[in-house]
C-alpha cells in the first residue's frame, strides 16, 4: 500500500512535469526577424490620390426578417457615364441568384460550388420588384424591369448577369438615377452569403451595376464559382433595419442608430468604396480599439475572445506595416467579423472596410498562425482589391496573387521563418508553403488568366495565390527585395482608387526593376514560364606543369615531369543546365577539397553554362543558387552535386528515434 | 543487516540494468529495420547529396523539408506501408526480448542457454496475451467512438468548446484505460515467466491482482507510462534548443545522445514496473494460496 501511495505521488509529479514540458514544447518559437529585416522594405513615396472618381453611388434601405431570412430593400443608384461613349443599356449583377437553383452557372460547377466546395442547402435569390428611372428625361415612373433580358447572356439557366436596355442613350458625362425595390431570400450560408441559425452575413446581396469601362462597355459577367467581383467606386449610404437584439457590422461608418418598436435602425455611410457588406447576429460580442488612427472593431462569437484578441494583435502589426508599404488606409473604420461555427463559409473574405476572418475556438493553440494569416490576408485586400480595384473576374492574380505576396511578406516580417507554423521545434514559412503549392501545379495553366478559365479551384489556388506570391518573391530575391517593395508601393499608390490591368502592373515593374525583371515576370505570369537549374556532374583532372625543353631569351630550360602524386594544379569543370523558359541570373558555389569556396555568376542566358576552374585544389561539390533565391526553380533537389555522395546523419538520427518511439508505444 | 541488503540491491540493480540494456538494444536494432526503407527513400530524392547534406531539411522555414515531401510524396506512401509492415513484425519480435527481460528480473542467475530456451517457450503465450490486450484496446477505442457518435446528437446545441473537447475526452479516457490494460497484461506476462502459467491462468492471475491490489497495479503501470512520456517531452523540448541546420557534427551527436537518453529513461521506468508486476503477481499468489 505504501508503494502504491509512493507511485501515486510519482505519477502525479510526472503528470505535472509533463504538462509543463508540453507547454514549453508548444510555445517553443524560432527567433523573430531582426528589426533591420522588418524595416528593410520601407521606403518613401509620393502621396496617392485622396478620392475616387465616383461612378455609381448607392442609397439603400434594407429590412431584415431574421426568421424567414428575407431582406426587403429599396435602392437608389446615382450613376455617371464617365466613359467616352453614349450608353444604351445598363448591366446589373444579381449575384444572389447564383444560389437560386442547382442549374445556375455557380452551382452546376463540376468541382462543387465555389471556393468552399459546398453546395447550397437552402436556396437563395434576389427578386427585383420594380425598376424606374428618376430625374430629368426619365420621370414617367414606368417600371423598366420587365424590359430586361431574362437571363445571363447565352445562358438560359443563369440570372446573375442581366442587361437592361435604356429608353434613351445616356451621353458621356450625363448622370442617371435608378430606383429599385427588391427582395432577397438568403440561402443557408454558401460562399460568404446567407444565414446560419440567427447569424446573417450579406455580401453580394443587392442589385448592383457592372463596372463601366472607359470605352463605354460594361465589364459584366455571370457569377462563376471561381470568380469574384469588379465594380465602380462611389458613395454608399445604407440604412439597415434589424431586430433589436441584433448587433450589426457593416462597411463604412455608423452615423446614426435608433431603437423603436423592437427594431434597431442603423445608418452606415462609406465614400470611395465599391461594395457594401454587412452582418447581423444576436450573439455577437465586440472588441474595439483605435489602431493607427482607425477604429477597429472585431465582432466575434461567444467563447472566441482569444481569437478576437489574436485578430486585433494581427491588425496592430499589419495595418501600420501595410500603411508604410502600400499607402495609408484612408477610411475611419475597419470591421472584422469572425463567423460562428457552422457559418465557416462566411469566413475569409474581403469587402471595403469590412473583412471576415474565421477559425475554430482553439485556432490559436499550438504553433499554427492560421488566425494571423487569414486576418492579415483579408486586411491586405483593403489595398489589393479595395483601393487598387482591379478586375477580380478577369485578372484574379492582381488581387489574390499580389495580396498573397503582401500577406507572406507581412507574416514573415512579423513572425520570421515560423510564419505559418512555429512549434514543437518545427517552423514553416509562408514562402515554403507557397512554393510547395506553386511547384506542384506551376505549369498547368497560365497564372494571368480569368478566374472562370481555371480548370479547378485547386489550380486557381495554387497558381493565382501561391505561384504569384512565389513569382514576386523570386523577383525580389533576384533583383532586390527593397526595389520590389518600392515597385509594389508605387503601383498601389499610383493606382489607388483606380482600376489597373495586368499591363499596368508589369509597366511599373519594368520602370522600377528594369526590362529583364519585367520580362521574367511576364513570362512567369502570362506564358507558363518555368525554370529548373540543375547540375549533373563535376569533372576534375590533375593539370601537371608542362615538361620538356623550353627556349627563352634567358637561355634553354629543361623541365622534368611532375612526380606522381605531387601537389599540383587541378583543372575542373562543372556544367550547369537551365531547363524551361525563364532566364534568371543565378549564383553557383564551388566547394573545394581544401574547404575553400568560390562563387561564380551566370546571367541565365543559354541552356548550359560551363564553370571552368584551375587551381591547387579539386572541386568536391557544386551548389547552384545556394541561397534559394529562385523559388520558381521546379526542382530544388537537383541543384547540387557532390563527389562525396550523399549523407543524412540528421535524418538517420530522427528516423531511428521515431521508430524506437513507435515500437515502444505500440508494441503488444 | 546492511551487509545483506547491499548485495541484494546490487543484484537487483544489475538485473534491472541488464534487462534495460536488452530492451534498448533490441528496440534499436528493430527500429533500424523499420526506419531503413524511409531513410533510403529520403536519400533517393537526392536532397541529401547537397554540400550541406541533410542539414537543409532542418533549416528554419522548412523550404527543403516541404520540397522533400512534395517530390517524395508519390513513393513515400508506398514505402511507409512497408515500414508499417516491418513495424508490426518488429513489435511482435520485441516480445522475445521482453520475455527475456522479465526472466532476467525474475532470476538473474540463470544460465544464458536456459534463459534463451525459456524465452522461446514463453513467446507463444506472450503472443496470445498481446492479442487479447490488442483486442481489448481496440474494443475500448470502438466504445469511445460509439459513445461519441451517440452523444453527438445530444450535444449539438452545446457550447462549441464542449463539442470539440468531448471526443478528445472519450478517446483520452479510452487510451488511459488501454494503458492500464497493458499494465494488467504485464502482470499476466509476469505470471507466465514466474510460474510458467498458461495464457488463461496468467490472465486470471492478473485479474485477481487487479481485484486485490487495484491501486498498486494502476499506479505502478501509470508511473511507467507517464515517466516515459515526460522523458520524450523533455527530449523534444531540448531538441527545439538545438539548431541542426548548422554544420556541426557535435550537435548531431548531442541530438542522438538526448534522444537515446529519453528512450533509455522510458525503458528504465518500464523495467521498474515489470519488476513490480513480478512482485505484485507473486504477492497475489501468496494471498490466494493463504500465505
Å from B99 to nearest chain A CA? 12
Q: Residue B248 has what pLDDT?
A: 80
Q: Residue B82 has what pLDDT?
A: 93
User: Does residue A118 surpass a pLDDT of 90?
Assistant: no
- Quick check: A650 and B87 CB within 8 A? no
CA distance A73 to A129: 10
Q: Residue A35 has what pLDDT?
A: 53
Average pLDDT of A73-101?
A: 96
A575 in contact with chain B, both atoms CB, cutoff 8 A: no
Nearest to B66 among A432, A639, A641 (CB): A432
Residues of A in Cβ contact (< 8 Å) with B226: 11, 14-15, 18
- Quick check: A429 and B70 CB within 8 A? no
CA distance B40 to A624: 24
Q: How many CA atoms lie within 13 A of B24 on its CB side?
A: 18
Q: Residue B290 has what pLDDT?
A: 40
Report phi then psi at B189, rounded to 5.
-60, -40
Which residues of chain B are under the pLDDT cut of 70? 1-7, 283-291
CA distance A276 to B121: 79
Residues of B in Cβ contact (< 8 Å) with A360: 160, 164
Residue A663 CB contacts under 8 Å (≥ 6 apart), including other chains: B27, B30, B31, B34, B87, B90, B91, B94
CA distance A65 to A510: 53
| Nearest Cα residue to A278 out of A380, A184, A388 | A184
Q: Which of B35, B180, B254, B277 to mutate to test the interface with A (most CBs of A within 10 A)?
A: B35
- Quick check: A361 and B127 CB within 8 A? no
CA-nearest residue to A301 within chain B is B160
CA-nearest residue to A624 within chain B is B50
A621 in contact with chain B, both atoms CB, cutoff 8 A: yes
Q: Residue A135 has what pLDDT?
A: 73
Residues of B in Cβ contact (< 8 Å) with A427: 60-62
For the stretch A536-554, pLDDT in tens is: 888 888 776 778 888 888 8
Residues of B in Cβ contact (< 8 Å) with A622: 51
Q: Residue B4 has what pLDDT?
A: 53
End-to-end alpha-carbon separation of chain B, Å? Answer: 25
Å from A634 to nearest chain B CA? 10
CA distance B148 to B170: 7
Q: Residue A571 has what pLDDT?
A: 87
CA-nearest residue to A661 within chain B is B263
Report phi then psi at B164, rounded to 5.
-75, -40
Average pLDDT of A445-473?
A: 95
CA-nearest residue to B50 within chain A is A640
- Quick check: A637 and B159 CB within 8 A? no
- The answer to whether the CB of A234 falls within 8 A of the CB of A54 is yes
User: Does residue A64 surpass a pLDDT of 60?
Assistant: yes
Under the banding of pLDDT at 50, 70 and 90, the label for residue A138 is low
Q: For residues A36 and A74, which has the higher predicted lDDT (pLDDT)?
A: A74
Å from A570 to nearest chain B CA? 20
Average pLDDT of A529-538?
A: 93
Q: HEC states along A333-398?
A: EEEEECCCCCCHHHCCEEECCEEECCCCCCCCCCCECHHHHHHHHHHHCCCECCCECCCCCCCHHH
- Quick check: A303 and B161 CB within 8 A? yes
A16 in contact with chain B, both atoms CB, cutoff 8 A: no
Interface size, chain A vs chain B, as Cβ–Cβ contacts under 8 Å: 233
A652 in contact with chain B, both atoms CB, cutoff 8 A: yes
- Quick check: B57 and A650 CB within 8 A? yes
Q: Which of A88-97, A134-143, A327-336, B211-220 has the lowest mean pLDDT?
A: A134-143
Q: Which three cell numbers stand for residue A106?
A: 455557380
Distances (CA, A) of A343 to A188, A292, A358, B163: 9, 30, 9, 16
- Quick check: B66 and A651 CB within 8 A? no
User: Does residue A637 surpass a pLDDT of 60?
Assistant: yes
- Quick check: A657 and B237 CB within 8 A? no
- The answer to whether the CB of A97 falls within 8 A of the CB of A183 is no
Under the banding of pLDDT at 50, 70 and 90, the label for residue A109 is confident
CA-nearest residue to B182 within chain A is A668
Nearest to A651 among B32, B57, B215 (CB): B57
Å from A201 to nearest chain B CA? 20
Which 8-state DSSP code applies to residue A399?
I
Nearest to A660 among B63, B249, B263 (CB): B263
Residue A286: CB atoms within 10 Å: 12
Average pLDDT of A59-80?
A: 98
Å from B112 to nearest chain A CA? 25
Q: Would you call A275 helix, strand, or coil by DSSP? A: coil
Residues of A in Cβ contact (< 8 Å) with B102: none
Residues of A in Cβ contact (< 8 Å) with B237: 21, 24-25, 28
Average pLDDT of A430-459?
A: 94
Chain A (321-360) residues lying within 8 Å, Cβ to Cβ, of chain B: 340-341, 360
Q: Which of A640, A656, A666 to mutate to test the interface with B (most CBs of B within 10 A)?
A: A656
Q: Residue A668 has what pLDDT?
A: 65
Q: Which of A1, A439, A650 to mutate to test the interface with B (most CBs of B within 10 A)?
A: A650
Q: Which of B39, B56, B61 to mutate to test the interface with A (most CBs of A within 10 A)?
A: B61
- Quick check: B53 and A646 CB within 8 A? yes
Under the banding of pLDDT at 50, 70 and 90, the label for residue A342 is confident
Q: Residue A646 has what pLDDT?
A: 80
Average pLDDT of A231-238?
A: 98
Helix orientation angle between A649-666 and B2-44, rounded to the nearest 10 degrees: 120
CA distance B243 to B241: 6
Nearest to A25 among B163, B213, B236 (CB): B236
- Quick check: B130 and A1 CB within 8 A? no
Residues of A in Cβ contact (< 8 Å) with B276: 3
CA distance B212 to B285: 11
| Nearest Cα residue to B14 out of B95, B94, B109 | B109
CA B147, chain centre distance (Å): 27
Q: Residue A43 has what pLDDT?
A: 54
A555 in contact with chain B, both atoms CB, cutoff 8 A: no
Q: How many secondary structure helices (H) and strands (E) does chain B include?
A: 8, 0
- Quick check: B92 and A668 CB within 8 A? yes
Q: Residue A547 has what pLDDT?
A: 80
Length of chain B: 291
- The answer to whether the CB of B104 falls within 8 A of the CB of B276 is no
- The answer to whether the CB of A446 falls within 8 A of the CB of A59 is no
Amino acid at each position: 500500500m505504501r508503494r502504491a501511495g509512493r507511485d501515486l505521488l510519482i505519477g502525479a509529479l510526472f503528470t505535472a512535469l509533463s504538462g509543463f514540458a508540453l507547454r514549453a514544447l508548444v510555445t517553443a518559437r524560432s527567433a523573430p526577424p531582426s528589426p533591420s529585416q522588418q524595416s528593410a522594405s520601407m521606403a518613401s513615396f509620393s502621396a496617392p490620390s485622396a478620392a475616387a472618381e465616383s461612378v455609381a453611388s448607392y442609397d439603400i434601405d434594407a429590412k431584415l426578417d431574421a426568421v424567414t431570412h428575407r431582406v426587403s430593400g429599396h435602392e437608389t443608384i446615382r450613376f455617371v457615364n464617365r466613359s467616352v461613349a453614349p450608353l444604351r443599356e445598363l448591366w446589373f449583377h444579381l449575384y444572389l441568384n447564383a444560389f437560386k437553383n442547382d442549374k445556375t452557372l455557380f452551382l452546376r460547377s463540376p468541382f462543387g460550388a465555389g471556393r468552399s466546395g459546398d453546395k447550397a442547402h437552402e436556396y437563395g435569390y434576389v427578386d427585383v420588384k420594380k425598376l424606374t428611372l428618376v430625374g430629368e428625361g426619365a420621370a414617367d415612373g414606368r417600371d423598366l424591369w420587365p424590359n430586361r433580358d431574362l437571363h445571363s447572356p447565352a445562358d438560359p439557366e443563369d440570372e446573375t448577369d442581366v442587361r437592361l436596355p435604356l429608353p434613351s442613350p445616356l451621353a458621356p458625362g450625363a448622370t442617371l438615377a435608378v430606383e429599385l425595390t427588391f427582395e432577397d431570400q438568403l440561402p443557408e450560408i454558401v460562399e460568404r452569403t446567407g444565414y446560419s441559425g440567427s447569424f446573417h452575413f450579406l455580401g453580394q446581396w443587392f442589385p448592383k451595376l457592372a463596372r463601366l469601362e472607359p470605352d463605354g462597355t460594361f465589364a459584366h459577367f455571370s457569377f462563376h464559382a471561381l470568380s469574384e467581383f469588379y465594380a465602380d467606386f462611389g458613395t454608399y449610404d445604407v440604412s439597415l433595419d434589424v431586430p433589436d437584439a441584433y448587433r450589426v457590422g457593416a462597411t463604412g461608418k455608423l452615423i446614426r442608430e435608433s431603437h423603436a418598436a423592437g427594431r434597431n435602425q442603423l445608418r452606415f455611410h462609406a465614400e470611395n468604396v465599391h461594395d457594401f457588406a454587412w452582418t447581423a447576429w444576436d450573439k455577437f460580442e465586440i472588441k474595439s480599439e483605435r489602431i493607427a488612427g482607425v477604429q477597429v472593431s472585431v465582432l466575434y462569437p461567444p467563447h472566441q475572445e482569444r481569437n478576437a484578441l489574436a485578430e486585433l494583435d494581427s491588425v496592430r502589426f499589419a495595418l501600420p506595416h501595410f500603411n508604410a508599404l502600400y499607402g495609408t488606409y484612408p477610411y475611419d473604420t475597419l470591421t472584422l467579423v469572425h463567423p460562428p461555427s457552422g457559418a465557416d463559409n462566411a469566413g475569409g473574405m474581403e469587402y471595403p472596410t469590412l473583412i471576415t476572418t474565421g477559425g475554430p475556438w482553439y485556432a490559436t493553440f499550438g504553433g499554427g498562425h492560421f488566425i494571423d494569416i487569414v486576418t492579415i490576408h483579408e486586411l491586405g485586400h483593403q489595398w489589393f482589391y479595395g483601393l487598387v480595384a482591379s478586375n477580380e473576374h478577369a485578372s484574379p492574380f492582381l488581387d489574390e496573387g499580389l495580396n498573397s505576396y503582401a500577406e507572406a511578406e507581412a507574416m514573415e516580417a512579423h513572425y520570421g521563418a515560423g510564419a505559418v507554423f512555429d512549434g514543437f521545434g518545427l517552423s514553416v514559412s509562408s514562402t515554403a508553403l507557397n512554393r510547395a503549392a506553386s511547384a506542384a501545379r506551376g505549369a498547368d495553366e497560365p497564372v494571368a488568366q480569368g478566374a472562370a478559365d481555371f480548370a479547378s479551384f485547386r489550380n486557381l489556388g495554387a497558381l493565382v495565390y501561391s505561384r504569384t506570391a512565389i513569382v514576386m518573391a523570386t523577383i525580389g530575391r533576384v533583383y532586390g527585395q527593397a526595389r520590389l517593395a518600392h515597385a509594389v508601393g508605387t503601383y498601389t499608390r499610383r493606382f489607388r482608387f483606380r482600376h489597373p490591368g495586368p499591363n499596368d502592373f508589369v509597366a511599373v515593374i519594368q520602370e522600377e526593376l528594369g526590362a529583364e525583371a519585367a520580362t521574367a515576370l511576364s513570362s512567369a505570369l502570362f506564358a507558363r514560364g518555368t525554370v529548373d537549374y540543375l547540375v549533373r556532374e563535376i569533372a576534375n583532372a590533375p593539370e601537371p606543369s608542362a615538361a620538356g625543353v623550353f627556349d627563352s631569351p634567358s637561355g634553354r630550360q629543361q623541365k622534368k615531369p611532375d612526380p606522381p602524386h605531387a601537389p599540383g594544379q587541378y583543372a575542373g569543370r562543372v556544367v550547369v543546365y537551365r531547363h524551361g523558359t525563364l532566364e534568371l541570373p543565378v549564383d553557383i558555389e564551388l566547394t573545394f577539397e581544401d574547404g575553400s569556396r568560390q562563387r561564380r555568376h551566370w546571367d541565365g542566358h543559354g541552356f548550359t553554362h560551363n564553370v571552368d576552374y584551375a587551381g591547387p585544389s579539386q572541386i568536391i561539390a557544386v551548389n547552384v543558387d545556394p541561397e534559394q533565391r529562385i523559388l520558381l526553380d521546379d526542382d530544388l533537389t537537383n541543384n547540387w552535386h557532390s563527389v562525396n555522395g550523399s549523407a543524412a546523419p540528421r535524418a538517420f538520427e530522427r528516423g531511428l528515434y521515431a521508430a524506437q518511439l513507435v515500437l515502444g508505444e505500440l508494441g503488444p | 543487516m546492511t551487509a545483506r541488503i547491499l548485495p541484494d540491491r546490487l543484484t537487483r540493480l544489475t538485473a534491472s540494468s541488464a534487462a534495460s540494456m536488452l530492451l534498448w538494444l533490441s528496440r534499436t536494432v528493430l527500429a533500424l529495420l523499420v526506419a531503413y526503407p524511409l531513410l533510403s527513400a529520403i536519400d533517393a530524392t537526392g536532397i541529401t547529396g547537397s554540400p550541406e547534406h541533410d542539414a537543409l531539411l532542418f533549416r528554419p522555414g522548412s523550404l527543403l523539408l516541404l520540397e522533400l515531401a512534395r517530390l517524395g510524396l508519390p513513393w513515400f506512401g508506398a514505402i511507409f506501408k512497408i515500414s508499417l509492415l516491418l513495424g508490426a513484425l518488429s513489435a511482435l519480435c520485441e516480445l522475445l526480448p521482453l520475455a527475456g527481460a522479465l526472466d532476467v528480473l525474475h532470476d538473474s542467475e540463470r544460465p544464458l542457454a536456459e534463459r534463451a530456451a525459456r524465452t522461446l517457450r514463453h513467446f507463444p503465450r506472450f503472443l496470445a496475451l498481446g492479442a487479447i490486450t490488442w483486442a481489448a484496446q481496440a474494443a475500448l477505442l470502438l466504445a469511445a467512438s460509439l459513445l461519441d457518435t451517440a452523444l453527438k446528437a445530444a450535444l449539438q446545441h452545446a457550447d462549441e468548446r464542449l463539442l470539440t473537447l468531448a471526443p478528445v475526452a472519450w478517446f483520452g479516457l479510452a487510451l488511459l484505460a488501454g494503458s492500464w490494460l497493458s499494465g494488467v497484461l504485464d502482470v499476466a506476462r509476469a505470471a507466465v515467466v514466474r510460474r510458467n502459467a498458461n495464457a488463461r491462468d496468467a490472465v486470471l492471475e492478473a485479474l485477481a491482482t487487479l481485484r486485490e491490489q487495484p491501486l498498486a497495479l494502476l499506479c505502478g503501470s501509470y508511473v511507467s507510462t507517464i515517466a516515459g512520456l515526460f522523458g520524450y517531452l523533455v527530449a523534444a523540448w531540448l531538441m527545439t534548443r538545438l539548431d541542426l541546420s548548422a554544420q556541426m557534427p557535435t550537435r548531431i551527436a548531442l541530438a542522438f545522445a538526448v534522444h537515446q537518453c529519453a528512450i533509455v529513461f522510458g525503458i528504465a521506468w518500464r523495467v521498474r514496473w515489470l519488476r513490480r508486476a513480478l512482485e505484485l503477481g507473486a504477492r497475489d499468489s501468496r494471498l490466494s494460496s493463504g500465505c
